[in-house]
A and B are shown apart, each in its own frame.
Chain A
Amino acid sequence: MNMRPETEAELAELIAGRDAPVWIRGGGTAGIVPQGTDVIETSGLNGISLYEPGALTLVVKAGTALGEIEATLAAEGQRLAFEPADLRAVLGTDGAPTIGGVVAMNVSGPRRIQAGACRDFLLGVRYVDGLGTAVKNGGRVMKNVTGYDLVKLMAGAHGTLGVMTEVSMKVLPLPEAQGCVLIDGLSPDDAVAAMSAALGSPYDVTGAAHLTEGMDGTPVTMVRVEGFGAQVDYRTGKLKEMLGRFGDVRVETNTDRVTVGWGYVRDLTGFVGAKGDLWRISVKPSDGPEVLRAINATKAQMDWGGGLIWAVVPEGSDVRSQLGVAGHATLVRGVGQARFHPETPVNARLAEGLRAKFDPKGIFNPGLMGAN
């Protein structure tokens, strides 16, 4: 059964009267919701409630399509700086991603290394908990320490703590220009060393990724800067000088081409069609190369300076037991293993306790996070 409430009150009533499990779906583009289950669609809760470009503030209903939001922001020369990925091609899904889905999964792209994750741009939420109570937390202002920060807790909770109905976000100006420095043929170790040097420079690097196979099939390391035109010229020049010891450095200052190149990284375009399980692994950046050696990937890239590894491995590979370093691995596409990395017993107990408080009937996205 598919339910599609159009107001928060309607949603609250529906949940209050329910004891059976239910899955929450935004655009359905993550491919998480199992077939044949009861589903609450959030797409009925849509529309931009408030947008003040001069205050960098956006308040929007959770079921609003991401595309609509991005177009509205672009018209004012602004953007969601955490750069949410569009993984539809690699996951083989269709539909329109919603902002609620992006927030629920804390989807954050290459710029996360400099600007922060989705959760860092989330100023406020409204949600309906597992008993059907509508709750608000945070607000619409940039600095807010009034009470506990449930806003962060909702980001990345994958709908297990409540159904978000509205989110407030901080947005940022679109830069005038983007530039990228590229080095071909580096080993993963040299690539991470180069990216660390760039990220430790004063040039405000907004992306640092290494593809073991770039668009032309050979390894490429990419470092992005953004800003005013002259600033991008200056900073790419400085980075070229600085990274020269790692290999031949190319500079790309055509903003359109830079945008396309980083879209390829962000959306895992190079992974489309690759057979096997898709994993997302989060580690200390300098541990990235070691993880790559350990997991036997048929296709891999390192983002966030080495700290975020996307890898395709043969179906059923137990990536978690191969990691060998601190961090965690999420199964993004594949079956037969839990999606999320097991937590330490204490943290698992705390998380379980929170889910029991927010969703006492245990009806939201059953089994998606945690043990049951």
Chain B
Amino acid sequence: MEMPAPNPTILAKKAELVRRLSEVLPEDAVIHEETETRAYECDALTAYRCPPLAAVLPASTQEVSDVLRICHDLGVPVVPRGSGTSLAGGALPTADSVILGVARMNEVLETDYDNRFIRVQTGRTNLSVTGAVEADGFFYAPDPSSQLACAIAGNIAMNSGGAHCLKYGVTTNNLMGVTMVLMDGTVTEIGGAHLDAAGLDLLGVICGSEGQLGVVTEATLRILAKPEGALPVLMGFDTNEGAGACVSDIIKAGVLPVAIEFMDRPCIEACEAFAKAGYPMCEALLIIEVEGSPEEIQHQLGLIKEIAAAHNPVDYREAADADEAYRIWLGRKSAFGAMGQINDYMCLDGTIPVSALPEVLRRIGELSKQYGLGVANVFHAGDGNMHPLILYNANQPGQLELCEAFGADILRLCVEVGGCLTGEHGVGIEKRDLMVDQFDPVDLEAQMAVKDVFDPAWLLNPAKVFPLASSEARRAVKIAAE
């Protein structure tokens, strides 16, 4: 993955930049010593690193506005950062950019149970949003697996999902309003505590725009009453087709579980070796969770059992209590840790139509042999969001490149069967150069035209999402303007 060469004119402005930033921010909020900027050199896509020119940690919308206005005046690119948990390189800086971290803005501004929303500063972590309301019986639904660390700002930038979005939707379905600062420092409010914003759905296009349209500093989020209870069921199958057909039949029967997770044999074996959850050894395993009162749960599990029986599961286990539920989830929740024990891994998140599952798994298996790299699949089966984990050795020269080439082939396969490159992680730099496999030039042009409106100088996170060749002319404008 290539990043544009740093602009020497901008590098030469460092002293002026730091001086002006220091005029609007407290001393400890402007980080510019090389030993310290290194802390911001990467996000969770750690294979790519580059310390920024400087990093700033504003504590208010006004400070964010001041920072952006200064960077805009000086023509310095800005890379917004939540908690830096992006798997796609969304917060990867370039040497001529300023990292704008929102971590100091983590307050709850308003909690309103009568109207079922919470308003927070966006540096707040995902899990602590739920933490602020759970004692009163409420929760915030999107639950990315990094939820302990990831910030709402990053969730909005990437339109993050999670395991429970089959029922509750992803970030965009739970976001009611934002306070956003444009690159020139203008502050605007979009949406709010009412259910639909006036005019064009600006909120819809801001969510998932990977920090390229503005910096969201405050968010109004929908909160929901916690269900009375939830229980998972685990079932094993001796073919991927059997498991896939079972998922499809459950959905067709009108049961709408909150989560349907799928694991293939390599994943089951690795998880079992790591977590010893007592999983059956089989080709495919499903974990399905339903919610409601005890009677409602039993009723839904009864229906699911009847449907599953028609697909001859080799194992079927219902959780009778919280402890058994914990054991059923244990292996799945340790999947990533289990892979990390075996080797380095790369996690993809292409989405496919559920009906294409058996074919895609078969072809991933073939590609695995061809590349000589192992792969394990764990999958949000209800919504088709795959998570192939490719195993490689980062210390062996050439393996990262081989792994990336294998990953690119898997993502192209997802597109070929009617799916997409990324279901919840975002494009960032990781899938940037594959965008041409999913979109025609006119499709990308329409998206870039949106950025032209919000950020005419292309200073916000400019080297992401769009292939460098596609965005080159637009990014060149600011360089020419030096």
Q: How many residues of A contact B (CB 8 A)?
A: 86
Given A150-B205, A344-B189, are A143 and B114 also a contact pair (CB < 8 Å)?
no
Q: Determine, out of A15-23, A40-48, A83-91, A173-181, the stretch whose residues face the partner at the interface.
A: A173-181
Nearest residue in A to B176 (C-beta to C-beta)? Answer: A284
Number of A-B pairs, beta carbon distance below 8 Å: 259
User: Provided the pairs A53-B252, A141-B419, A283-B194 are in contact, do residues A146 and B435 lie with their beta carbons within 8 angstroms?
Assistant: yes
A120 to B256, CA, bound (A): 17
Task: Determine, out of A60-68, A260-268, A292-300, A352-360, the stretch whose residues face the partner at the interface.
Answer: A352-360
Task: Among B197, B208, B247, B355, point to the contact of A145 (Cβ < 8 A).
Answer: B208
CB neighbours of B114 from chain A (8 A) = 193, 196, 200, 285-286
Determine the chain A residues whose CB is within 8 A of the CB of B254 once the complex forms.
77, 173-176
Q: Quick check: which of A31-39, A153-161, A247-255, A269-277 contacts chain B, the rest being far away? A: A153-161
Q: B391: shortest Cβ distance to chain A, in Å?
A: 24
B residues within 8 A CB of A139? 418-420
- B420 cross-chain contacts in A, Cβ below 8 A: 139, 141, 144, 146
Known A155-B201, A231-B292; contact A147-B226, beta-carbon cutoff 8 A: no
Cβ-defined contact, A201 with B225, below 8 A = yes
* B195 lies within 8 A of A143 (CB): no
Chain A, residue nearest B447 (CB)? A148
**Nearest chain-B residue to A281 (Cβ)?**
B194
Identify which of A142, A341, A357 contacts B452 (C-beta below 8 A).
A357
B383 → A minimal CB distance (Å): 4
Contacts of A134 in B (CB 8 A): 442
Cβ of B380 under 8 Å from chain A: yes
Produce 1/0 per residue, B352-389, CB < 8 A to A.
Answer: 11110000000000000000000000001011110000
> Taking A326-B192, A347-B199, A358-B446 as contacts, is the C-beta distance between A54 and B161 under 8 angstroms?
no
Knowing A77-B254, A134-B442, the reply to whether A145 touches B169 (Cβ < 8 A) is no
Interface residue ranges of B120-171 to A (CB < 8 Å): 137-138, 158-159, 161, 165-166, 169-170
- Contact (Cβ within 8 A) A304 B195: yes
A141 B418 Cβ-Cβ under 8 A: yes
Q: Which of B41-49, B66-74, B333-341, B423-431 contacts A (4 or more CB under 8 A)?
A: B423-431
**A241 close to B (CB within 8 Å):** no
Q: Which residues of B contact A145 (CB under 8 A)?
A: 158-159, 161, 170, 208, 422-427
Known contacts A145-B423, A146-B435, A326-B194; A137/B447 CB under 8 A:
yes
Residues of chain B within 8 A (CB-CB) of A112 are 195
The answer on a CB contact under 8 Å between B423 and A143 is yes
Would you give the shortest CB distance from A107 to chain B, in whole angstroms? 11
Which residue of A55, A119, A157 is within 8 Å of B248 (Cβ)?
A: A55
Would A282 and B226 count as touching, CB distance under 8 A?
no
Given contacts A119-B204, A147-B447, A357-B453, contact A343 B198 (CB under 8 A): yes
Q: Across the interface, do B115 and A285 meet the contact criterion of CB distance under 8 Å?
A: yes
Residue of B nearest to A199 (CB): B116
Say yes or no: B200 contacts A230, CB within 8 Å: no
| Size of interface on B: residues with Cβ below 8 Å to A | 95
Q: Among B14-22, B273-281, B293-301, which stretch is in contact with chain A?
A: B293-301
Q: Which A residues are CB-close (under 8 A) to B252? A: 53-54, 76-77, 173
Interface residue? B227 (CB, 8 A): yes
Whole-angstrom distance from the CB of B342 to the nearest CB of chain A?
A: 27
Interface flags, A20-32, vs B, CB<8A=1, else 0? 0000000000000
B343 at the interface (CB under 8 A from A): no
Residues of B within 8 A of A326 (CB): 192-194
**A204: chain B residues within 8 A (beta carbon):** 227
Whether the pair B353, A57 counts as a contact (CB closer than 8 A) is yes
Residues of B within 8 Å of A286, CB to CB, are 112, 114-115
Q: A284-B193, A357-B452 are in contact. Are A150 and B296 (CB under 8 A)?
A: no
- CB pairs A–B below 8 angstroms (14 shown): A56-B251, A113-B195, A143-B351, A144-B422, A173-B254, A196-B116, A200-B137, A234-B295, A282-B196, A307-B115, A327-B192, A346-B186, A351-B202, A357-B450
Contacts A147-B439, A175-B254, A357-B449 known; 13 new A-B pairs at CB < 8 A: A53-B252, A55-B355, A120-B173, A136-B443, A141-B383, A142-B385, A143-B385, A144-B420, A145-B170, A227-B296, A228-B296, A350-B454, A353-B452
B interface residues (Cβ-Cβ under 8 A, vs A): 112-116, 137-138, 158-159, 161, 165-166, 169-170, 172-173, 182, 186-190, 192-205, 207-209, 225-228, 247-249, 251-256, 292-293, 295-296, 299-300, 351-355, 380, 382-385, 418-427, 431, 435, 438-440, 442-444, 446-447, 449-454, 465
